[in-house]
Structure 1
Amino acid sequence: MPDPELSPPQSSLPAAASHFGAHVLADAAARACDVRAVTGGPAPAPAPVPSPPAAALSVDVPVPEVRTPTAGLERILRGPSGLGTSGLFFARRAEREPEPEPEPAASASASAEGIPIPGLYHHSVPEPDPVRVAEVSSRIKSWALDEVDLYPDDWEDQFDGFSVGRYMVACHPDAPTVDHLMLATRLMVAENAVDDCYCEDHGGSPIGLGGRLLLAHTALDALHTTQEYQPQWALSLQSDAPRRAYRSAMEYFTQEAGPSQADRLRHDMARLHMGYLAEGAWAQLDHVPEVWEYLAMRQFNNFRPCPTITDTVGGYELPADLHAQPAMQRVIALASNATTIVNDLYSYTKELAGPGRHLNLPVVLAEREDLSERDAYLKAVEVHNDLMHDFEAEAAALAAACPVPSVHRFLRGVAVWVDGNHYWHRTNTYRYSLPDFW
């Protein structure tokens, strides 16, 4: 798919050192339709670029660790340059003026848009385009009500309060059209319907969860069976709201995505469902896992299906062989793990107010490491920050070692998704509020 002519997403990738062999770049040159700068030889050194403005490294609150930018960090913050990279930027913007110093987290202006967690390492993003937000919000509600009959009338306030239009526009600023944004938006809503109705808020239960998830997964990964039984399966796809939503969202997605992109999503959704099953099994046993076990579960029960489709939503394709590289898989996993800990932290008070014991990282840390609620929460912030630093370092290393335009654009897209995800959690005061630990 061609790259659309749009302004670039904002990125927050910093620095590091990893290596892709020359044979990988040679293979990429033969396979990637948008690779114009790569030949069959060893990877060329990235062209030097000016240092980024200081504002590129600004954060909204003090962080517990400050890392000194390296040359690689500064290069990746600006993105690739040189022959063949113009498709990553579409239309160059004038250099931005340095941003003012952030206000204290507890200020009145910050309260109006949600308070960022003190000490949480993150990057600010531009406000999402309000025209796109309004259009996506209108379209997704029409889809939910008219196409898939997703929720009863008394859930409407919760649906509106989720602010999914603002969420997806913030996470995908390089989407060429609203139709592209809707690919991600339908999938996000469908995934939340499965989580709520099968696992959590709206009648979810760990009992029988495996069977429900298996049948729902066939709405994404079609059943291939005999003519006798095929009609019964097809009819089952309309039997409940989560399956209707999955089926419809996946149909829209496959109309735009290439075969490898669609299969990638199916794989990541299977990962997600496996994480749901682990959490459900622990709930049935009233078991609090070790911290490392919890983090292993969260590597599967996390946001990974969302950033992994950033190329489809952006109107291009990261070739399957590049997506499958271990270095790329590590970058995607680290990003997804960090965004999920953001969810644990911002939803902490909401989950504590619910019935029963809801596992999240602060709860597990308090139980397994004998910490107070406050100390456990603050340690969870440190875990998030470590994941973020590792993600940014690994992403920068990969971008420096593999100067393929689709790789660079995909990495920037994942970084933007990470930043947009934090923006949505911080600003969604309908759903989230912070504990009084500071």
Structure 2
Amino acid sequence: MPDPGLSPLQSSLPAAAAGFAAHVLVHTRTQAAETAAEAEAEPEAEAQVEVPAGGARPDVPAPPASSASSAPPASPADGASTLNRALERIIRGPSGLGTTGLSLARRQGPSAPTESRPPAEGTPIPGLYHHPVAEPDQARVEEVSRRIKAWAVDEVQVYPPEWEDQFDGFSVGRYMVACHPDAPTIDHLMAATRLMVAENAVDDCYCEDHGGSPVGLGSRLLLAHTALDPVHTTKEYEPAWAESLHSDAPRRAYRSAMEYFVQLATPSQADRFRHDMARLHMGYLAEAAWAETDTVPEVWEYLAMRQFNNFRPCPTITDTVGGYELPADLHAQPAMQRVIALAANATTIVNDLYSYTKELESPGKHLNLPVVIAERDGVSDQQAYLKAVEVHNDLMHGFEAEAAALAAACPVPSVLRFLRGVAAWVDGNHYWHQTNTYRYSLPDFW
């Protein structure tokens, strides 16, 4: 993995620092409250922050203190101020000795043109809590778009010629550049982009409208997963398995994308990704089971499924794409896992909301949060959609509060950069949904 000037990729925190991090992560909320008095002595941060290079999160309000701490702070104002500064530190990135290389603006490859760009296309969902981002670097978008199409069409033959307009309309290059503003090189962006295209090929061809079906989905997903997590078998049967990895487009895409990814990822990062892909496949199977039995789950059951059938594999690789590593012991901490889960859940509900009209126009019944709320709560389609917006907003506020508490409790540079990378992915994901007018349009509910 090329060294982009950050901390050594195989490094972990020294034993003392790792012990400190584990201790404070376990006591995240308590520590955030106890450090309020010390933090109050620092110059007060402005409520409004500028958008840094690379497109971070502007105008972020302070998260509710009650969401971030189970132990009461010295005063509500002190607690809110501490967490607000912690959240701003995520936005701006860490500062101080040894953190120069952690800026999201530090990267190589094509850079943005200097002329001003037009405002983002599309209309954001009214009332949806989100943060606008700077337009992604157009030179990078064009280069990633060129490379990914060559890979998908020529190298692994994921899409036939008749799907070319859909592939172009997906705008995956713009998607990944917006979500990973700290990627140091185009190669790092391509690692995420190939995986995104491969995951969508599996979804389209195995689950959705390009030949997908819930019948027999489990065996197809299992065999596809072996392209990510290799089978270790006998010499007699290994050739048949290896040959199967080329037998259909999804497996070809998974195999190739993973081969590129492991060239940049550490073993720990690669294993983390495999684990999250297993989570994704389990979510696919739950939704398929409901489709086979024509079942509409309870709202809480649907949200549980969406915690697995969601975007989590994408933000969880933000450190690999950024060219550094969040050590495994810090990634595995419950507080970090909660932050990642809330972020992934919020971004997935964004997809439910923006794809709502597209799915209504598709054949068959597509489960999404507004549909499930309407069915289970007995409310109108409009009321259900607006309720789903509220659910998303609650998830977003929870994500930001937990991220701020974690940043205050564990100000380790790799933790702060990872939190910032996840936040950038959340915002880039919304940007892509809002601006992809080829795929999405809003319902007439306002």
Which category of TM-score, normalised to the shorter sequence, fits these structures? 0.7 to 0.9
Aligned partner of 2:19 in structure 1 is 27
Measured after TM superposition, the shift of residue 55 of structure 1 is: 4.8
The aligned amino acid for 1:342 is V
Q: Structure 2: how far apart are the matches of 1:422 and 1:336? A: 12
Per-residue CA deviations over 1:17-67 (Å, capped at 9, x if unaligned) read xxxxxx98443789xxxxxxxxxxx9997794651462557569xxxxxx9
Q: Structure 2: how far apart are the matches of 1:128 and 1:403? A: 28
Aligned partner of 1:405 in structure 2 is 413
3-state SS of paired residue (2:307): helix
Q: Is contact 1:121-1:385 (8 Å) kept?
A: yes
Change (3 A) 1:70 1:43: closer
Aligned partner of 2:320 in structure 1 is 312
Q: Structure 2: how far apart are the matches of 1:293 and 1:251? A: 35
Change (3 A) 1:52 1:24: farther
The aligned amino acid for 1:339 is T
Change (3 A) 1:399 1:361: same
Q: Is contact 1:299-1:337 (8 Å) kept?
A: yes
Question: Is structure 2 residue 272 aligned with structure 1 residue 264?
Answer: yes
3-state SS of paired residue (1:300): coil
Measured after TM superposition, the shift of residue 404 of structure 1 is: 0.6
3-state SS of paired residue (2:124): coil
Identity in percent = 78
1:243 to 244, 251, 263: 251
The aligned amino acid for 1:117 is I
Question: Is structure 2 residue 434 aligned with structure 1 residue 426?
Answer: yes
In the alignment of these two chains, the number of paired residues is 388
Measured after TM superposition, the shift of residue 356 of structure 1 is: 1.1
Q: Structure 2: how far apart are the matches of 1:347 and 1:337? A: 15
3-state SS of paired residue (2:84): helix
2:286 to 271, 278, 302: 278
Q: Could you list the runs of 5+ residues in structure 2 that have no partner in the other structure? A: 7-14, 23-33, 51-56, 61-66, 68-76, 107-117
Aligned partner of 1:88 in structure 2 is 102
Change (3 A) 1:59 1:155: farther
Per-residue CA deviations over 1:181-204 (Å, capped at 9, x if unaligned) read 000000000000000000001010
Q: Could you list the runs of 5+ residues in structure 1 that have no partner in the other structure? A: 7-22, 31-41, 61-66, 93-108
Per-residue CA deviations over 1:267-286 (Å, capped at 9, x if unaligned) read 00000000000000000000
Measured after TM superposition, the shift of residue 73 of structure 1 is: 1.2
TM, length-normalised to structure 2 = 0.82
Q: Is contact 2:105-2:181 (8 Å) kept?
A: no
Question: Is structure 2 residue 425 aligned with structure 1 residue 417?
Answer: yes
3-state SS of paired residue (2:210): coil
Question: Is structure 2 residue 347 aligned with structure 1 residue 355?
Answer: no
Q: Is contact 1:317-1:406 (8 Å) kept?
A: yes
Measured after TM superposition, the shift of residue 409 of structure 1 is: 0.2
Change (3 A) 1:49 1:158: farther
1:121 to 120, 129, 132: 129
Q: Structure 1: how far apart are the matches of 2:280 and 2:43? A: 39
Per-residue CA deviations over 1:201-244 (Å, capped at 9, x if unaligned) read 10100000000000000000000000000000000000000000
The aligned amino acid for 2:353 is L
Q: Structure 1: how far apart are the matches of 2:16 and 2:294? A: 47
Question: Is structure 2 residue 82 aligned with structure 1 residue 71?
Answer: yes
Measured after TM superposition, the shift of residue 89 of structure 1 is: 2.3
- RMSD of equivalent CA atoms: 2.6
